[in-house]
Amino acid sequence: MAGDGMNGRDGLPGRDSGPTPVVTRKIAAEAATWIARLHGPGRSPEMERALREWLSRSAAHRHAFEKCTDVWQEVAGVSAADVYAGAAARSLNAALAGERWWARMRWPLLGLLALVIAVAAFAAHRWWAVEVYATKVGEQQLVLLEDGSRLSLNTDTQVRVELNAERRSVRVEGGEVVFEVAKDAYRPFVVRAADSEVLAIGTIFAVRLPGRSTDRRDEPLTVTLIEGQIGVRPVSGDAGQRDASKARLMKPGERLVLATRRSQPSAQTVPAIEHLQRPQLEQLLAWKRGEVVFDNISLPQAVSEMNRYTRTPMVLIGDASTLRVSGLYQTSDSPGFARAVAALHGLELRERAGRLELAISQ
């Protein structure tokens, strides 16, 4: 394939740079088939053009092809004695004699290698199909999935994504995510968080759990529907048993607040709905603009929210439960928030041992 404008291994495109794309099981299987065909007796310019067209469809196609090529090169280094060990060596001993061994056996051997490639591709499908996306404290990230869905990750968030031919699955392991789900009637989009599962097809909704590094482990799970329709249903036990009869359909603008049972998940058969809210969505999604909006909430609540975005925590010294906060603040400017509330309520602001202290005057 030299001279055809391709510059990677074996004349194929080079490796993509940037984030690793999500490879589905179907794409992985197709990549393994292409590797086997390229190393078979029927390789032709027409086949190579068809491969180039297949590779051009997405970064996921190219990534799967690269992985299969790596497996092929590793397997190709195995000696004939290794491949035909045991019973195969005994039965083929006579046929393998003489200098014409490779001429007589190369296609059976390559067929066996092709089978190894296919098996390796399917054995590795979970690695290919599953991707983990995470943000650190104070970071945000926008993730575009292969199906066209978009995930906006807030501070201190981690999700695990698996896409295959039957289902699109995301597990929220902590943090806050806004999902903009691409419509696909044949592949439901399912989000698992704590003891609950959200089922969607084409919609926009937000899920929030305590962040991975936060001390607020008792914070409830919240699911907010922004656009479209979703169903929220309980999931019990490590096996993830679902009860479709208990699914709760939500309307746009609603937020479900659900208690989580992290300590004894197997005993939780129904997520406890604490209450249903209708929050101001603009305030709820202000973090996507790098802002946080408070509307007459308690100072301890406001400090707790601001602490999600910083590794220099604020600590209240004294009883501040009666103090209220309103206003718009930058998520990246906790010191500015601390100065503002200190001036508003006459608090003493001091920095000690890597934290900001807001002391209530006696």
Between CA 232 and CA 304 the distance in angstroms is 27
Which helix H or strand E contains 87, and what residues bound it? helix 87-91
Q: Do both 35 and 169 map to the same domain?
A: no
Residue 221 sits at φ, ψ, to 5 deg, of -80, 135
Q: Is residue 2 part of a domain?
A: no
Q: Do both 80 and 191 map to the same domain?
A: no
Looking at per-residue pLDDT, the higher value among 62 and 297 belongs to: 297
Q: Do both 275 and 146 map to the same domain?
A: yes
The domain boundary residue, chosen from 280, 300, 322: 280
Q: What are the E-state strand segments in the chain? A: 130-134, 141-144, 150-153, 158-163, 168-180, 189-193, 196-200, 204-209, 221-227, 230-236, 241-242, 248-250, 255-259, 272-277, 291-298, 314-317, 324-330, 348-352, 355-359
Q: Is residue 3 part of a domain?
A: no
Q: What angle do CA 221, 226, 231 make, to 5 degrees?
A: 60
Q: Do both 164 and 269 map to the same domain?
A: yes
Q: Do both 122 and 64 map to the same domain?
A: yes
Between CA 198 and CA 189 the distance in angstroms is 8
Q: Count structural domains, the chain.
A: 3
Q: Is residue 298 part of a domain?
A: yes
Between CA 68 and CA 51 the distance in angstroms is 14
pTM here is: 0.64
Closest-CA residue to 39 (of 63, 61, 84, 71): 71
Domain that residue 304 falls in:
290-359
**For residue 111, what pLDDT band results from cuts at 50, 70 and 90?**
low
Closest-CA residue to 230 (of 210, 265, 254, 208): 254
Q: Do both 53 and 13 map to the same domain?
A: yes
Averaged pLDDT of the chain: 78
Reduce the DSSP state of residue 361 to 3 states and report it.
coil
Q: Do both 274 and 298 map to the same domain?
A: no
Between CA 58 and CA 54 the distance in angstroms is 8
Q: Do both 83 and 161 map to the same domain?
A: no
Q: Is residue 22 part of a domain?
A: yes
Q: Do both 345 and 216 map to the same domain?
A: no
Q: Is residue 285 part of a domain?
A: no
CATH number of the domain encompassing residue 206: 2.60.120.1440
The predicted structure's pLDDT at residue 24: 66
Q: Do both 255 and 301 map to the same domain?
A: no
The predicted structure's pLDDT at residue 62: 87
Instruction: Give mean pLDDT, residues 313-323.
Output: 93
